[in-house]
Structure 1
C-alpha cells in the first residue's frame, strides 16, 4: 500500500507584523504544494528511508537504531499528538548526526527531526520509504515547512487504522473534519521542532486550505467567493524573521502613538479584505470592482509595512517593476527580502504577465503564478491522482 499526501503553501494577504501587536491578519493557501509519498516495506528490510527528491538527498536508519534512540513506541497512539521532550530531542539529534548531513544542507536537520518524531509517534518501528517533493521554495515565507509537516502527518494518518478513508477509492480524497483537526495538531508538533514557537497559522492554512482570519491567537476560517490569482516573486534574499519582528517592536517603543495608528490602519485593511473576499460575486463587473479594491488595500498595506521598517531594496525593485505595468504589489511574511505578491486581475492579458515575469527574472528573482484560496490537505492511494 502506498499513499501520497499533498498540502499547500500559504501567503499572508494582509496584517503581517501588526498581528504580533494584536491586530487582524488574513492568510490564504496557494496552489503550490509539498507532496509526501509513504510506502511500507514488505521485503524484510528493517530500515526507515527518507528521500528528499528535490535536493538529491537520501537518509536511512536501521529500525533497531530508532527503537534504541526512541524507546516506548511499540504500540503507538496516533490519536493523541505528543510534544517532543528534551530527552527525545537529544536522541533524535544523535540519529541525525549518524547521517552526516552536508554542511550546506545543515538547515534541513530540523525538518528531518520533525519527520523522525512524527513517524515514530504515529507508526512506531515499521519499515518504510518516505519520499518528499515540493513546488515551494524553502525559507521564503511561503509556508514550506508547514506544508511538509501537514503532508507528512496526512500521509502517516492515512495509513493508520483511524483515518476513516476508503483505500479503494481513486483520485484525491479529503479527510473529515475530525481527522483534519487531528492532522493539524500533529503538524503543529512538527512545526514546533522546526521553528520553536510557531503561531499555528501556517499549518492551519495548509491543513484546511482556503483562507483564515486571525487575531490574538483566535483563528476564523473564511470561505472565499473571489478567485484571485497572484504573481509571487521570490527575491531570494534571506531574512532573519526574529530580528525583523524585534525591529518593529523597538520602533513601537520609540513612537508608540504613531505606530498604534499604523497598526489600527492595518487592522481595518484586514477586516475590509476579509469582507470583500467573502462577498458573493455576480458578474465580471463585480469581479473587476472587487479586484480593484483588493489592489488598493494591498498598496495601503505595503505603505504601512514600509512605515514599520520591514521593506528591503529587493522588495522595492519588485514594487517599482510591477508599478510600471500598473500592477499592485506588497511583501508577504516577514519582509526584509523573501517574497512579494502582485495581484493579476482576471482581465489582464497573458502577454503583459509574460513581460512582467521576464523583467523580474532578469533581476535574478524567481517567479511563480499561483491561485489563492484553494484546497488544503488531500491524499490518494496506490499512486492514483
Structure 2
C-alpha cells in the first residue's frame, strides 16, 4: 500500500524573531507543498531495506533493516501514540547511520533531515522495509519552513501506515485528518524539528499541520503591519542588500513587502492585493527577475497537512 501526504509551507507576517523567545507571531500557510509518498516493500521483492529518495537533489539512501535494528536495541519499546524526544545516545547512532551514506559535501545540509526521517520512521514503525520518496516545491533555507513541512509530511505519512491513525482508504483525492490525529502529527513533527534545529519555536510545524487562515478583507491593515514589522527587522540589523533591492522595487508599485525567516538573505514576502491587475504583477516579476531573483506566487491560507491514496496529483 502506498500513501501520499502533502504539507504546506509557512510564512510569518509579523514576529518571526520574537516568537523564539515566547512572544506572539502572526503566521499562515501558503499553497506551496512538500510531498511524501510512503509504501511498504512487499515480501515478493525480497528487499530488507529502508529507502529514502530525495527527488529534487537527487539522492537516494538505503539502510538494511538489520543494521537499523542493531543501532536501536530498544526500538520495540517505542509507542507511536506517545511522541518522545530523541536521546543523545540514539542521535549518535542515527548520525553513524547517516554518515555511512556518504552524503556529498555540497548536500551535507540535508543530513539533519535524513536523521529526522530515520528517527520518525523507526520510532513509529520500527524496522519494517519501506520506501519513502520526497518532493518539494519549497526552496531550502529561505524562511518558508521547508524543514517543518518535511517533518509534518513525514510524520503524517508514517503515522498513516501505523495503528495510531484511522484513514478512510476508500476516499479519493486529498483528505484531512481528525483533530486528535493532527495533534499527534504535530507532536511528532516537532520532535523531528528538534533534531534539525535544536530549539525550534514550534510555530512552523504547527502552521504546516493545522493552518486554515484566509486573508481576504483586511489587506491594507495587513500590509501596514508588514511594513511596520520590516522596519523593526531593519533596526535589528537582519536585513540585507538583496532584500533592500526587492523592497525598493516593490515599493515603486506601492506594494507592501517584508523579509521572512531569519533574514540576511532568504525570501521576501510581497502582498499582492486581490484587485491588483495581472499586468502590474507581471511588471514586478519581470523587474525582479531581471535583478536575478526567483519569484513564486502562492495563495495565503488553506488546508494544513493532507493525505491521499488514489488520484492525487503531484
TM class, shorter-chain normalised?
over 0.9
Residue 251 of structure 2 aligns to a residue whose secondary structure is: helix
Instruction: Give CA-to-partner distance per residue, 1:188-216, whole Å, 9 cap, x none.
Output: 110000001111111000100135xxxxx
What is aligned with 1:140?
A: 142
Q: Distance in 2 between matches of 1:384 and 1:342?
A: 30
2:221 pairs with 1:293: yes
2: CA distance, partners of 1:122 / 1:7: 19
- Cα shift at 1:184: 0.5
Is contact 1:75–1:124 with CA below 8 Å preserved after alignment?
Answer: no
Task: Please state whether the residue corresponding to 2:295 is helix, strand or coil.
Answer: strand
Q: CA deviation at 1:82?
A: 1.7
Q: Map 1:68-79 onto structure 2 (within 5 A).
A: 68-74=70-76, 76-79=78-81
* Structure 2: 5+ residue stretches without partners: none
Give the drift of 1:299: 1.5
User: What does residue 112 of structure 1 align with?
Assistant: 114
In 1: Cα distance, 2:245 partner to 2:50 partner: 46
* Larger displacement relative to structure 2 (16-25 or 352-361): 16-25
Q: Identify the residue that residue 103 of structure 2 maps to in structure 1.
A: 101
Q: TM-score, normalised by structure 2?
A: 0.95
Give the match for residue 8 of structure 1. 8
Mapping 1:224-303, distance limit 5 Å: 224=214, 226-227=215-216, 287=217, 290-303=218-231
| CA contact 2:3–2:157 (8 Å) conserved in 1 | yes
Q: For 1:44-83, list aligned pairs within 5 A.
A: 44-74=46-76, 76-83=78-85
* CA contact 2:19–2:201 (8 Å) conserved in 1: no
Which residue number in structure 2 is paired with residue 274 of structure 1? none
Contact 2:173–2:310 (CA<8 Å) still a contact in 1? no
Residue number among 332, 337, 352 corresponding to 2:260 in the alignment = 332
Structure 1 position 305, deviation (Å):
1.7
Would the alpha carbon gap of residues 297 and 104 (structure 1) be closer, same or farther in structure 2, given more than 3 Å must change?
same
Superposition pairs of residues 35-50 of structure 1, within 5 angstroms? 35-42=35-42, 43-50=45-52
In the alignment, is the contact (CA less than 8 A) between 2:172 and 2:311 conserved in 1?
no
CA distance in 1, matches of 2:269, 2:307: 28
Tell me which residue corresponds to 1:195.
197
Secondary structure of 1:109's counterpart equals: helix
Q: In structure 2, which of residues 70, 85, 88 is the aligned counterpart of residue 86 of structure 1? A: 88
Query: Is 2:307 the partner of 1:379?
Result: yes
Whole-Å separation in 2 of the counterparts to 1:328 and 1:88:
46
Max radius of gyration: which structure? 1
The verdict on how the C-alpha distance between 1:342 and 1:130 changes in structure 2, with shifts beyond 3 A counting, is same
Taking the aligned partners of 1:81 and 1:209, their CA distance within structure 2 comes to 21
Q: State whether structure 2 residue 173 is matched by structure 1 residue 171.
A: yes
Q: Compute the displacement of 1:354 (Å).
A: 1.1
Query: 1:300-315 alignment to 2 at 5 Å?
Result: 300-315=228-243
Cα deviation for residue 16 of structure 1 reads: 2.3
Matches of 1:129 and 1:37 in 2, distance apart? 8
In structure 2, the residue matched to 1:369 is: 297
User: Structure 1 stretch 110-119 or stretch 295-304: which is displaced more?
Assistant: 295-304
Query: 1:74·1:125 contact (CA, 8 Å) conserved in 2?
Result: no
Paired residue secondary structure (1:192): helix
Gaps in structure 1 of 5+ consecutive residues: 212-223, 228-286
Q: 1:130 aligned to 2:132?
A: yes
Shift of 1:162: 2.2
Residue 262 of structure 1: aligned partner: none
SS for the counterpart of 1:84 is coil
Q: Give the distance between the partners of 1:320 and 1:17, measured in 2 at CA.
A: 23
CA RMSD of aligned residues (A): 1.4
User: Is residue 210–residue 376 contact of structure 1 (8 Å, CA) maintained in 2?
Assistant: yes
Distance across 2 between alignment mates of 1:323 and 1:131 = 41
